[in-house]
Amino acid sequence: MDIAHTDNSALLRRVSPGDWLFALALAGGAAFALRQYGGFMDIYEKLILVLTVPAIAAIGWAWKPFRLFLAVSTALALASISLYQGDLARAEKVFFLKYLISSQTAIMWMSALVFIATGAYWLGLLTRSDFAEKTGSALTWSAATMGTTGLFVRWYESYLIGTDVGHIPISNLYEVFVLFSLITALLYLYYEGRYATRRMGAFVLLVISAAVAFLLWYTFSREAQEIQPLIPALQSYWMKVHVPANFIGYGAFALAAMIGVADLLVRKGILASRLPAPEVLDDVMYKAIAIGFAFFTIATILGALWAAEAWGTYWQWDPKETWAFIVWLNYAAWLHVRLTKGLRGAMLAWWAVIGLVVTAFAFVGVNMFLSGLHSYGSL
């Protein structure tokens, strides 16, 4: 018997017509983008767009709720773009743009929904209310949808300012804090569905709320929402792959840390009857760190390639690079002791929590307190 043929046949049988329709819609969207905006892309950007299609299709095939999220986010973004009619000034004149789906209003809706979702999850956890937990989950999906819409629209708005200004919105602290919030929320929602429990949300939403609180402070104290042209160091196709990979890592590490907090409370008998078993929390923490480590490794390699192109050397022990290496070593050691030594329990949970402090310093602290080649992200 041809085992390879059997495996392929089984895989094809598991793929439904809806799966193929989703993939076809993604391919159609990419083809439209290439036809409409291909003149603004170089060959590398076109390649990134083409490769994104099977990657997102695979996510949608494995995680069905992601399809609706992506469809609604895209529909809202397209509605916003159509309302602009090529005129950025309409953001203050058109009701739905001013109060709902311009980039800034969509991101503000995301922020409000994150805070409300956090409260709903905690209410559900403390009162054992399924309705409150379901509400928290729905609000988290809504927050992720509005934030994604906001980033899509911000991308379009940057081109309305000028073709020389237009860029993917992952270039400064304001934009990447939105990205971090979205990625962490989506990672959590995946595990919420995968393990059929909403009782981790109260903890994970805390770190997202903290990110949103920083985002709001940064917005109102620095007017950080203003779209600025890219500085020369960021005018590279490498940014489009390095930054998202990096923030999948950051989001996964943040998720693992908050699961670690929940795990420690359960082991001390606090909220033990309301939270998943330690074995479940340990498994989620491990898988989040494994995913985060994989993407952070990819991001570090991509960053080194970008550095070689921009500065002529792969590594210079710049403060950002040094702390990225510390983060990488930290989680490499965490995975090593778990996989080779069989270590479990409170020590790994504490390690995950402390790891978030190290990661946060690499993410924000370096920009606040140190200077170097990456100081373009300073506060």
Give residue-wise pLDDT tens across range 270-296. 999 999 999 999 999 999 999 999 999
Distance CA 282, CA 204 (A): 14
| Residue 70 domain-assigned (yes or no) | no
Please count the structural domains in the chain.
2
| Residue 71 domain-assigned (yes or no) | no
pLDDT bracket for residue 373 (50, 70, 90): low
| Residue 25 domain-assigned (yes or no) | yes
Q: How high does pLDDT run on average in the chain?
A: 91
End of a domain among 62, 94, 111?
62
End of a domain among 62, 89, 111?
62
162 and 41 in a single domain? The answer is no
| Residue 217 domain-assigned (yes or no) | yes
54 and 185 in a single domain? The answer is no
Q: What angle do CA 61, 63, 69 make, to 5 degrees?
A: 105
Q: Which has the closest alpha carbon to 77: 176, 148, 140, 26?
A: 148
205 and 353 in a single domain? The answer is yes
**Which domain covers residue 206, as residue numbers?**
80-377
pLDDT (0 to 100) of residue 283: 96
Burial tier of 48 (Cβ tally within 10 Å: 0-12, 13-18, 19+): middle
Lowest-confidence segment of 29-38, 98-107, 194-203 by average pLDDT: 29-38
| Residue 67 domain-assigned (yes or no) | no
pLDDT bracket for residue 40 (50, 70, 90): confident
User: Looking at the predicted structure, is the pLDDT value of residue 378 above 80?
Assistant: no
Lowest-confidence segment of 63-67, 110-114, 154-158, 220-224 by average pLDDT: 220-224
49 and 161 in a single domain? The answer is no
Q: Which has the closest alpha carbon to 165: 218, 114, 226, 76?
A: 226
| Residue 68 domain-assigned (yes or no) | no
Lowest-confidence segment of 84-88, 91-95, 156-160, 306-310 by average pLDDT: 306-310
| Residue 69 domain-assigned (yes or no) | no
pLDDT (0 to 100) of residue 317: 86
241 and 132 in a single domain? The answer is yes
pLDDT bracket for residue 143 (50, 70, 90): very high
Which has the higher per-residue pLDDT, 118 or 3?
118
User: Looking at the predicted structure, is the pLDDT value of residue 44 above 90?
Assistant: no
Burial tier of 322 (Cβ tally within 10 Å: 0-12, 13-18, 19+): middle
pLDDT (0 to 100) of residue 309: 86
Report CA-CA distances (Å) from 6 to 58, 69, 296. 20, 33, 35
pLDDT bracket for residue 377 (50, 70, 90): low
Q: Stretch 65-94: mean pLDDT, rounded?
A: 96
Distance CA 272, CA 263 (A): 9
pLDDT (0 to 100) of residue 316: 86
230 and 324 in a single domain? The answer is yes
Report CA-CA distances (Å) from 144 to 18, 59, 138, 201, 273. 23, 16, 10, 14, 29
356 and 239 in a single domain? The answer is yes
Q: What angle do CA 87, 177, 208 make, to 5 degrees?
A: 125
User: How many other C-beta atoms lie within 10 A of the C-beta of residue 78?
Assistant: 16
pLDDT bracket for residue 9 (50, 70, 90): low
**CB neighbours of 373 closer than 8 A, spacing ≥ 6?**
233, 311, 316, 318, 320
pLDDT (0 to 100) of residue 200: 97
355 and 257 in a single domain? The answer is yes
Q: Which has the closest alpha carbon to 149: 76, 65, 66?
A: 76
Give residue-wise pLDDT tens across range 316-356. 888 889 999 999 999 999 999 999 988 888 999 999 999 99
User: How many other C-beta atoms lie within 10 A of the C-beta of residue 348?
Assistant: 22
39 and 178 in a single domain? The answer is no
Amino acid identity at 345: G
Give residue-wise pLDDT tens across range 355-364. 999 999 998 8
56 and 194 in a single domain? The answer is no
End of a domain among 62, 89, 106?
62
Provide the sign of the torsion angle of the four alpha carbons 91, 87, 42, 76, taken in this order. Answer: positive
Q: Stretch 187-208: mean pLDDT, rounded?
A: 97
Q: What is the pTM of this model?
A: 0.93
| Residue 73 domain-assigned (yes or no) | no
25 and 163 in a single domain? The answer is no
- Residue 150: DSSP 8-state: H
Distance CA 75, CA 62 (A): 22
pLDDT (0 to 100) of residue 1: 40
User: Tokens 């020389």 — which residue?
Assistant: 164
28 and 143 in a single domain? The answer is no
User: Looking at the predicted structure, is the pLDDT value of residue 15 above 80?
Assistant: no
